Structures are given as C-alpha cells and as structure tokens.
Amino acid sequence: MTESTSPTGWSQARRLSVAPMMDCTDRHARYLLRLISRNALLYTEMVTTGALLHGPRERLLAHSPEEHPVALQLGGSDPAELAQCARIAEQAGYDEVNLNVGCPSDRVQSGRFGACLMAEPTLVADCVAAMRDAVGIPVTVKTRIGIDRRDGWEDLSGLLEQVVPRGCDGWIIHARKAWLDGLSPKENREIPPLCYDVVYRVKALHPELHITLNGGVTGLDQAMDHLHHVDGVMMGRAAYHTPASLLDADRRIFGSPDQPVTRSTVIRRYMDYMDRELAQGTPLRSMARHLLGLYQGLPGARRFRRHLSEHMHRRDAGVPVVREALQLVGNG
C-alpha cells in the first residue's frame, strides 16, 4: 500500500485536476500525466461498486506509487456498498474517493447511478454519509448543474443543502446540465451550454466549500481565470488529447520555481516505464495509445500519430516503435 498525501497536500493538488474519463485515464495514462505535472490531482476511470466488489479488484485498483495524488471515482447508489468500496480504496492507498453524480450515459442510468442521482438528493446524502463514516480520506462528489427539467438554482442548491451537512469534503461541478433522454454522453459534453456563473455562485454563497469547476476548460489560461472564482479547475478531454497543454501547469498553477518539463524528457521517461511494463507482459498498445496527442501542433505530429497507430498493435511491438515515431516529429 502506498502512502497517501496529507489533507493539505490534497487541497493544494485540487487547484488543477484531470477528470475521470472512461477508456482514457487508466493507470498508464495517469503515469504519463504525472510525468508532465508533479502536482495535479489525477482521477481514475469510474469504477462501479459491483465491479469492485465482485470483479478483478487488483486490476481495477492498480496504480503506481508515482501517480500520487490520485483519486478513485466510484459509481453506485447503495450506501453500504459505497462505504465498503471507499474502505477498499483507502486500503489500496488512494488519496480521495469520489462519487459520480454527473455521468449521463444510458449504462449508468440503468444502474441507478451517475447523473440520475441528482433527482434523489436524500439518497446522495446517505451515500456520502456512509462513505464519510467509513474512511479517513476525503470524500467528494462530481455532479452537473442540473438534469432535464430539474435544472433550476433551487434544484442544485437543494442537493447541496442535503449533502453538505453529511460530510462531503469537496464538490466538482460540471458547468452544464445533462439531458438524460435524447442526448448521447458525447452530446452532453458539447450541446448543453456552459454556465460558469452558476458554479461561481455556488462558491460565492458557500465560501466554506471546496469547489472545483469542470467543463469546457481547454488550457491553463482559462484555468487561471476560473481560479479567481473557485478553488480548483478540472480539465478533461483537452488534458488527455493534448497533454502538452499541462507542461507549464506546475509553474503557473502551483507556483513551482522549476522550469517546465519538455516533451522529450517526458517521452524518454515514459519509454523507461514502457520497458518495465513490457517486461511484465503489458502490450505496447495499452501504453503507446496515450502518446498520440503529445506532439499535437508540432511539425510531424500527424506522421508521429500514424506511425504509432499503425505499428503499436503488432504482437511483437516494443519501445523501438516509439523511437521510430520520434524520428518523424519536430523537437519539443
């Protein structure tokens, strides 16, 4: 078991975080992101309580000591099961456990978790209380500003009023509502308008709450602007698809005196990681796929992506495939 960060360190790390993203933020992606920023808080993909209690627990919880601070996001709606899973997360060394009350996919609705829970604030409060009573690490909630026709200020404030007294340590608020019927998860990330003022209002009315803003943040300039109004900013797809956008995060967001790390340093260290993982049987494609956007915007980036995409799936593919791709791209 790894040693978790202190509450003070956790709070500082929340100034910038990378969102939980299915099929994206696995342990290899998180290792890569940690090479880019030593400070940002990283989140796992969402793990359902059923999968954690009855599935391949060791694989689902796997993470490297270097990933800290790192948080586990849970999907579920049974307080007892969530409490048990929170204990498992703490024992595994995670620094935070987060309850998903924001994902709008059909899968989570059928399982009665994710954004549909916004319609059941009492249940959310019971879930948070059970998790809070079970662990010593922070328990947080990730939510939308509303769902369907339940998107008024009274709906969001009503959720807060019920959950906050039960011990929630922080709120991550995606500044869009979600339509649970009629829009796909991708459309729900793009079509409902961003309403940053709603998140700002939450923080203004509840200065005691740790509020992280999520939704539509594509770079550090935007993050810095939002930090004038909230405690933290969470980046999602932009951080994953263009990870170099975080190269200067430690200096700008966290005040590090060190020079930003370079792409060449990141990829060299990641190749060392890939060598170790390959020796343990991890296929190259599982790791190299997270590199596809690293050189976005530089000469040769398309050739770099194409070479990786065409060769990383070979059964015998190894680190030389990445080195070959590097010969096709400009210096970074």
Query: What does the H/E/C string look like for the chain?
Result: CCCCCCHHHHHHHCCEEECCCCCCCCHHHHHHHHHHCCCCEEECCCEEHHHHHHCCHHHHHCCCHHHCCEEEEEECCCHHHHHHHHHHHHHCCCCEEEEEECCCCHHHHHCCCHHHHHHCHHHHHHHHHHHHHHCCCCEEEEEEEEECCECCHHHHHHHHHHHHHHCCCEEEEEEEEECCCCCCHHHHCCCCCCCHHHHHHHHHHCCCCCEEEECCCCCHHHHHHHCCCCCEEEECHHHHHCHHHHCCHHHHCCCCCCCCCCHHHHHHHHHHHHHHHHHCCCCHHHHHHHHCCCCCCCCCHHHHHHHHHHHCCCCCCCHHHHHHHHCCCCCC
171 forms beta bridges with 141, 211
Q: Contact at 8 Å (CB) between 198 and 157? A: no
Cα(198)–Cα(178) distance, integer angstroms: 14
**Nearest residue to 115 via CA among 185, 50, 203:** 185
By annotation, the residues acting in catalysis are 103
Question: What tokens were used for 79?
Answer: 């307080």
285 CB burial (10 A radius; 0-12, 13-18, 19+): middle
The half-sphere exposure of 268 on its side-chain side, counting CA atoms within 13 A, is 7
